[in-house]
Amino acid sequence: MGLSPEDDRVWANLMNAILGAGDPDVMPEGTQAVMERYVPEVFERCAKLIAERRENPTDDLTSVLVHAEIDGERLEDHEIVMGFLLLMAAGNDSTKATYCSGMRALMEAPEQRRQVLEDPSLVPAVVEESLRMFPAFAHFARTATRDTEVHGQRIREGEKLVMWYPSSNRDETRYEDADRFDVTRNPEHQAFGAGGRHFCLGTALARLELRILIEETLARFPEMEIADTPKYVESGFANQLKTLPVRLRP
205: closest CA among 125, 127, 105, 123? 127
**Residue 250 above 80 pLDDT?**
no
The confidence score (pLDDT) of residue 17 equals 85
* Residue 146 resides in a domain: no
Closest of 2, 30, 154, 180 to residue 91, by C-alpha: 2
Which residues on neighbouring strands pair with residue 247, listed in sequence order?
225
Cβ 91 vs Cβ 202: under 8 Å: yes
User: Domain for residue 56, yes or no?
Assistant: yes
Spatial distance between the Cα atoms of 31 and 21, rounded to a whole number of angstroms:
5
pLDDT band at 238 (very low <50, low <70, confident <90, very high): confident
Is residue 158 in some structural domain?
A: no
Determine the 3-state secondary structure of 130 from DSSP.
helix
Mean pLDDT value of segment 90-106: 91
Cα 211 to Cα 98: distance, rounded to the nearest angstrom: 11
Which of 7, 38, 43, 1 lies closest to 20 in space, CA to CA? 38
% of the chain with per-residue pLDDT over 70: 100
Consecutive H or E run containing 43: helix 39-55
Count CA atoms closer than 13 A to 176's CA, side-chain side: 4
pLDDT tens sequence across 167-209: 999 999 999 999 999 999 989 999 998 777 788 888 999 999 9
Within-domain flag for 226: yes
5-43, pLDDT tens digit by residue?
999 999 988 888 888 888 888 888 888 888 898 899 999
151 found inside a domain: no
CATH of the domain at 108: 1.10.630.10
| Range list of H helices, 61-148 | 61-67, 77-108, 110-118, 123-133
Q: Which domain holds residue 87?
A: 5-135+177-247
Percentage of the residues of the chain whose pLDDT score is greater than 90: 69
**Number of domains composing the chain:** 1
Pair 231, 224: CB distance under 8 Å: no
Q: Is 246 within 8 Å of 224 (Cβ atoms)? A: yes
108, 130 contact by CB (below 8 A): no
Q: Summarize pLDDT for 47-71 with one digit per residue, the tens.
A: 999 999 999 999 999 999 999 999 9
Show Cβ contacts of residue 94 under 8 Å, excluding neighbours closer than 6 positions.
Answer: 136, 137, 202, 206
Distances (CA, A) of 211 to 39, 120, 205, 215: 33, 10, 10, 6
What does the pLDDT read at residue 5?
92
